[in-house]
Amino acid sequence: MWIHNPLKARDSNLKEGPLGWLSKRTIVEFTKYAAYMAWKLGDMVDYWITFNEPCAFTLAGYIATTLGFPPAVFNPLAFIVSLNNIMTAHARAYEALKTWDGNGKAEIGIIHNVAPVYPLRSEDLEVAKHANYVLNTRIIEALTHGEWDPLLIGEKIQRPDLKNKLDWLGLNYYSRIVVTEIPKEYPRYTKLLDWIPVKGYGSLCEPVSLSRDKRPTSDSGWEIYPEGLRDSLKQFHKFNLPIYITENGIADAKDRLRIHFIVSHIEQVYRAIAEDKVVVKGYFYWSLIDNYEWASGFKMRYGLIYIDYKTKMRIPRPSAFILKEIAMRNALPEYLLEYSKYPNILS
């Protein structure tokens, strides 16, 4: 059970109104809520999720403000403070869930959006390492080893209260990030925020086109990069946690790319399990049906099942039957591997 939806400061100047995760009071209230949920539902729920994509909604709210997520105020300090508070809240909620789950079977994880980071040039290798740490490994290091870099300056402090606060890890994967060093005329707010993503890769491509690497892109302009899923699984394998792929999907209203997307990504999961010995416990496609996609509303269609929003009619897309076949066999049939090749979407 996922017990948190993104809570944001709503006031545009961050001075009035509810402050969300900028307020330490939210830590207290969230911990109380987690305890209550465990007390009421612990006999029915064994797997608990404290937060879904904490790095995403804090980064989008205070750094990447053009994405349309509230409060959309560029404030690097607010990004740092909110994520610090979220880490503390997770640790306290972990203890509360363990204490108040009546049957003692609570397994608690966090769902983390991952996007492996690659350098544009060899000169960008160091900043790519910084970006990978900030976006991918920082919070998981904290919740496993108890090492936390609160100010994003590359200096870790010991936080025993954060150590060993994960029983499993959920990974949401959609695409990669390619970065380059931030131009010298740009301000540097912390030592590790010294990079910028490069347009034409990852989520910064033109819709229904090709990336700079000649890979097809989705309706939302996201590059299809299945190798990044395996790279992410290998990277997080070092934390010795069972891994669930909790989201992996594509905006594709016409279902032109979804079969390729599903087959190519599941093939990479298979390779991570068979060749890299990663413990992957499950794979969840995003999503079963077309749905409300946050700042994109109903425009982007991720569903295996098409929804006519006027009549509410549901129609399975062809990709739904492909995933059904994979699930029923609990394997990737050899005849489907042909779909892992890049389709020509521009023909």
DSSP secondary structure of 45-58: --EEEEEE-HHHHH
- Gyration radius from the chain CA atoms: 20
pLDDT of residue 155: 92
All residue ranges of the chain with pLDDT < 50 are 347
Q: Which amino acid belongs to residue 149?
A: D
pLDDT digits (tens, 9 = 90+) for 296-311: 899 999 999 999 999 9
Report the C-alpha gap between 54 and 89 in whole angstroms. Answer: 11
Report the C-alpha gap between 3 and 64 in whole angstroms. Answer: 25
Q: Are 82 and 22 in contact (CB under 8 A)?
A: yes
pLDDT of residue 266: 98
Fold (topology level) of 20-340: TIM Barrel (3.20.20)
Instruction: Domain ranges for the chain, please list them.
Output: 20-340
Show which residues are catalytic. 53, 247
Residues whose CB falls within 8 Å of the CB of residue 7, separated by 6 or more in sequence, listed in order: 18, 20, 21, 26
DSSP string across 194-249: -EEEPTTSTTSS-TTSB-TTS-BB-TT--B--THHHHHHHHHHHTT---EEEEE--
Locate 293 and state its tokens.
């996609």
